[in-house]
Chains A and B, each alone.
Chain A
Amino acid sequence: MKKQSDFIKGVYNGIPIALGYIPLAFSFGTLAIKGGYDFWVPTLMSMLSFTGAGQMAGIQMMVQAASLISIFLVNLVINARYLVMSLSMNNKITEKMSVFKRIFISFGMTDENFTIASFYTGKLTFPFFAGLILTSYTGWILGTLVGALLMQLMPAIIQEALSITIYAMFCGLLLPSVKRSKAVAVVTAIAIAISCAFYFIPFLASLPSGINIIVPTVVAAAIGALVFPMPQEEEQTDSIKNEEAKENE
Chain B
Amino acid sequence: MSDLTYLLLAIAAISIAAFIPRVIPFLLPKGRIKSRFLNSFLNYIPYSVLGAMIFPAIFFATSSLLASIAGTVVAILLAFWEKRLIIVALGSILITAIVLAIV
**Which residues of A are interface residues toward B (Cβ below 8 A)?**
20, 23-24, 27, 37, 41, 44-45, 48-51, 53-55, 57-58, 61-62, 65, 68, 71-73, 75-91, 99, 102-103, 105-107, 109, 157-158, 160-165, 167-179, 183-184, 187-192, 194-196, 199-200, 212-213, 216-222, 224-226, 228-230, 232, 236-237, 240, 244, 247-248
B contact residues around A53 at 8 Å (CB): 49-50, 53
Contacts of A44 in B (CB 8 A): 11
A78 touches B100 (CB 8 A): no
Q: Is the interface of B mostly helix, strand, loop or mixed?
A: helix
How far apart are B85's CB and chain A's nearest CB, in angstroms?
Answer: 4
B34 to chain A, nearest CB (A): 9
| Measured CA separation A177–B32 after assembly (Å) | 24
A68/B75 in contact, CB under 8 A: no
- Would you list which residues of chain B between 31 and 82 have a CB under 8 Å from chain A? 31-33, 36-58, 61-63, 67-68, 71-72, 74-76, 78-80, 82
- Name the residue of chain A whose CB is nearest to the CB of B40: A225
Q: Which chain B residue has the least Cβ–Cβ distance from A219?
A: B48
Say yes or no: A217-B56 contact (C-beta < 8 A), given A49-B14, A160-B100, A172-B85. no
- A192 CA to B57 CA, complexed, in Å: 10
Chain B residue, CB-CB nearest to A24: B85
The residue from B25, B41, B57, B94 contacting A167, defined by CB atoms under 8 A apart = B57
Given A24-B85, A102-B26; A196-B40 close (CB under 8 Å): no
| B93 and A165 within 8 A (CB) | yes
29 A-B pairs within 8 Å (CB atoms) are namely A45-B15, A48-B15, A53-B49, A72-B14, A80-B45, A83-B24, A83-B25, A88-B32, A106-B22, A109-B22, A157-B101, A160-B96, A164-B92, A168-B75, A169-B85, A169-B89, A170-B50, A171-B54, A171-B72, A171-B75, A179-B80, A188-B48, A191-B51, A200-B56, A217-B52, A221-B45, A224-B44, A224-B47, A232-B39
Using known A-B contacts A77-B49, A192-B55, determine if residue A158 contacts B97 with beta carbons closer than 8 Å. yes
In contact, B48 and A49 (Cβ under 8 angstroms): no
Contact call A90/B30, Cβ cutoff below 8 A: yes
- With the chains together, A109 CA to B19 CA distance in Å? 9
* Complex: A212 Cα to B51 Cα, angstroms: 12
Instruction: Provide the bound-state CA to CA distance between A41 and B42, in Å.
Output: 30
The 7 closest A-B pairs by CB, nearest first: A75-B17, A168-B92, A172-B88, A225-B40, A161-B97, A191-B51, A86-B25
For residue A18, give the distance in angstroms from its CB to the closest CB of chain B.
14
Total interface residues on B, using CB and 8 Å? Answer: 77
Assess whether B41 is in contact with A221, with CB atoms less than 8 Å apart. Answer: yes
With A75-B14, A172-B88, A195-B55: A82-B48 Cβ-Cβ less than 8 Å: no
Contact yes or no, B56 A195, CB < 8 A: yes
**Using an 8 Å CB-CB cutoff, how does the interface string of B4-27 with A read, 1 for contact, 0 for none?**
001101111111111111111111
Q: Which of A20, A191, A225 contacts B85 (CB 8 A)?
A: A20
State the Cβ distance, A167 to closest chain B Cβ, in Å.
Answer: 4
Q: Are A229 and B25 in contact (CB under 8 A)?
A: no
Interface pair B49/A72, CB less than 8 Å apart: no
